[in-house]
Amino acid sequence: MLEATKSGVFGHRYDIRVNGTPVAEWNPRFWRGGGDIVLAGQRYRVDATTWTNRFTMTDAAGGTVATAEKAGRKHWTVVADGKPHRFRRASIWASTQELLIGDNVVGTIRKTGFWGNRIQAELPTLSLPAQVFVVGVMVTTWDRQAAAAAAG
């Protein structure tokens, strides 16, 4: 199981662990969306578009590692590891996102902890870099939703 916990001075960075072992760090960007991932000494950049909820993860050489389309909507897709992975929001009232193969739920990502400061993900069909990407995508999506609710 992958678990991401807010840390840092202002609680914006996420430390990511797999079965309790630190593996990565997600550092969100506030004004432009997206962020940076440090995984096994490698740095990845995640860029986001505001209106289409499209995210792109690139490696240090600028090569595309993963993309997400319509993140956080009822149905959305991540392309990683050479193939598409389908997700759906489990409920309009919950933050849980489900990873699907056909109509079967094979994984989830959800907020847990007090104030939703922890994220748990079980995404067995995705590589570790793709799992960390999905965590970053959902952190950005949930932060945008919270900001919109606060403003509205």
Beta-bridged to residue 6, according to DSSP, are: 14
Pull the structure tokens for residue 1. 């199981």
When divided into structural domains, the chain yields a total of 1
- Rounded distance, CA 84 to CA 100, Å? 11
Domain span holding position 98:
2-151
CATH number for position 108: 3.20.90.10
Instruction: Please state the φ and ψ torsions of residue 131, each to the nearest 5 degrees.
Output: -65, -45
Does residue 32 contact residue 48 with C-beta atoms inside 8 Å?
yes
Encode the chain (152 residues) as per-residue pLDDT tens digits. Answer: 999 988 866 657 899 999 999 999 998 886 667 899 999 899 999 998 877 689 999 999 999 999 999 887 899 999 999 999 999 998 877 789 999 999 999 999 998 866 667 899 999 999 999 999 999 998 888 877 777 777 76
Q: What is the pTM of this model?
A: 0.90
Tell me the C-alpha distance between 94 and 137, whole Å.
17
Amino acid at the residue 149: A
